[in-house]
Structure 1
């Protein structure tokens, strides 16, 4: 099989695996389930992926690349820092509507290498994005001038640790989307200036 054909097959495999992980979680999904869903033999799958751990890592890499592309498109589209954050957060809420929170718990507990990929993405690319957004917001009077950019950025990133803490927010009691929604409101309302609040109130796609 040509390498270009392999790449097409691999991308299709990762796309299907990502969707299945999002709905079912990682732990309960077997390679048999994936093969059946795709109408593909396990032999073909194992020609592309070594094992399930490798699959989870490749899916996470695929997810990160896709998210970076989406964020960059949104950054080009947004007219100001408020709109940038609203569009990003709307995207996050939309993509997590179908998310089974068990995905995050499974990854943290069972697939530390894959969790590290997510951790590096969050603490690298997302950190720089949020930091840049806050700086631009302060410079253009959309955010309060008395906030510490570095501290607020780390608060934002640290929220995922709080949201996924089952001791605080058991998944049987709290919707993951509801937790994200609450945090989005908390973050934006805490940092906007009067000018920023007026801009924020113009957007109806997200409750703020």
Structure 2
């Protein structure tokens, strides 16, 4: 692995584990086993590392969304695959990282905000349209309202002010809100399909 890749790998792991504020360039250099001088030869400052790390995270999600729709058998499976993808990222992502980027790194946060609208919100709306067409979601859904509601649910799951990390596991929060969301928007036919993906039993 070349030096630049080693630096990015170390920075990405440290930011996701500890947040961005408390991680210094010295910490990253030490973790890589290089000098600060070598680190600065590859990256101008910590901001450049933060920006690139976040861009990689967002681009990875965009690439996944591009293939998920065609690879999924139906709208519910598509949505569940997306949640599995987000859960896999959440396992190695400290919510404090996003909170600190929003608070201390506004330029990087602008990219996150654009991603929320251009990718997340768009994919939720497309999934709702697909589910309605397939008869799995209720036909009377207001797509704009429901999509925004779902987006807010996902954002809240990663917000430590709503679900403090010392009290809640992100994957448990996401499981609960996803079950609530899917069962709420599904038609009777869709609920039967949802049982298979949500691993819940129909109440008798």
1:86 maps to what in 2? 80
* In structure 1, distance between residues paired with 2:44 and 2:200: 43
* In structure 2, distance between residues paired with 1:16 and 1:189: 40
Match of 1:177 among 171, 180, 198: 171
1:14 maps to what in 2? 8
Instruction: Supply the RMSD in Å over aligned alpha carbons.
Output: 2.3
Question: What residue ranges of structure 1 are gaps of 5+ in the alignment?
Answer: none
TM-score (norm 2): 0.87
TM-score (norm 1): 0.85
- What number of residue pairs does the alignment pair up? 201
* In structure 2, distance between residues paired with 1:170 and 1:36: 30
1:198 maps to what in 2? 192
* In structure 1, distance between residues paired with 2:142 and 2:121: 14
Alignment check: 8 A CA contact 1:22 1:100 kept: yes
SS of equivalent residue, structure 1 residue 202: helix
Q: 1:150 Cα shift?
A: 0.9
Structure 2 residue 156 is matched with structure 1 residue 162: yes
Match of 1:57 among 46, 51, 60: 51
Question: What residue ranges of structure 2 are gaps of 5+ in the alignment?
Answer: none
Structure 2 residue 60 is matched with structure 1 residue 66: yes
Alignment check: 8 A CA contact 2:157 2:163 kept: yes
